[in-house]
Amino acid sequence: MDCPDRSDEMSCTFLEIPSWYLPDIIPPARKATQRNQRNRNKIEVDLDVMAILDVDVVNLTFETQFRLRLSWYDSRLSFINLKDDQYKNWVTQNESKSIWVPKVRFHNTETMLTSVNDEKAYITIEKFGNYTLNSVQHLGI
């Protein structure tokens, strides 16, 4: 924050969502780079087991606490003033409800639970590649 009254942080966002964006539609696949490679969206899934809370050998069940991390690319979105550290590029809760977010279904759970984008979840933007400068007209000066 640069201003003592924090006014420079009001309505601050790293994410530009176009007016035509539909958050219920999966992003288009990236172009295949190799001859026999299919055009598919790549969603990376990382799961860290934090603790094993309970093991029931009679019913063959166990309970865990885990952290789920999903990474994906959405070519329909644009980004502004991204920092090198992705944890400084937070998407607000309102913005996260306005973009497509992958869901994971846990088929081997009792009720086939799915991942939820709620207040406990957060989204950050990771900066890849080079930046481009905007023209003076885009700045509104």
Q: Are strands 90-91 and 123-124 parallel, antiparallel or unpaired?
A: antiparallel
Which residue(s) pair with 55 in the sheet? 62
Domain count, the chain: 1
Residue 67 lies in domain: 1-141
User: What is the 8-class DSSP label of residue 92?
Assistant: P
| Distant-in-sequence, close-in-space partners of 84: CB < 8 Å, separation ≥ 6 | 127
| Distant-in-sequence, close-in-space partners of 30: CB < 8 Å, separation ≥ 6 | 39, 41, 42, 73, 75
Give, for all 141 residues of the chain, the pLDDT tens digit: 455 555 555 556 788 899 999 999 999 887 665 555 566 778 899 999 999 999 999 998 889 999 999 999 998 998 888 888 888 888 888 888 899 999 989 888 888 888 888 888 888 898 887 767 666 555 555
What's residue 56's pLDDT? 94
Terminal C-alpha separation, the chain: 21
* Selection from 95, 92, 77, 81 nearest residue 127 by Cα: 81
* Selection from 39, 29, 16, 33 nearest residue 91 by Cα: 16
